[in-house]
Amino acid sequence: MAKRTPDHLKVIRGTARPDRMNPDAPAANLGTAEPPAWLSERATEIFAQLSATLHGMGIASPDDQMALAMLASRIEEIEICTAVIEDAGRTYCTTATSGDKLVRARPEVAMRSEAMRHAQSLLAEFGLTPAARSKVSAGLPAIANPFAALDALR
């Protein structure tokens, strides 16, 4: 079963239908999220970059703090694993109990791969991948009708 598309994305995509909308769905608060205290210094920097990007796209919300923190933490994990792999290589040699030499994959390779999969999923949730971005179009802010005051006089 596919993930449920949030109502605001249906409106932006132009696929909204009254029978498929949830009128009682909570609206996200506007503004940017603050990084939680448990994030490392580097993850906090990544969190700030992500928050600024989402703010620039007009979809930032303080309600997304935990999901952004997970994303920032996963991106930091990718950086750490990548540094280990670049420094020590993708494999290491060991000796089996029989005395044979074995070449094994470094654990950081699998750890990085899993972190990349999770980060990609979170990036898509926020519309931060080219494919996810192509599915939505940010509307321009509404321009106040200069004649609205005249309508009230009728």
Distance, CA of 12 to CA of 127 (rounded, Å): 12
Contact between 55 and 82 under an 8 Å Cβ cutoff? The reply is: no
Distance of CA 57 to the CA centre of its chain: 13
Residue 90 and residue 105 in contact, taking contact as beta carbons nearer than 8 Å: yes
Question: Whole-model pTM?
Answer: 0.73
- Torsion over CA: 117, 122, 111, 114 (sign): negative
Distances in whole angstroms, Cα of residue 23 to Cα of each of 17, 27, 48, 104, 126: 11, 10, 32, 54, 22
pLDDT along the chain (154 residues), means of 10: 60 71 72 94 97 89 94 98 98 95 97 98 90 65 56 58
Predicted local distance difference test score (pLDDT) of residue 31: 83
Would you kindly state where each structural domain of the chain is located, as residue ranges? 31-135
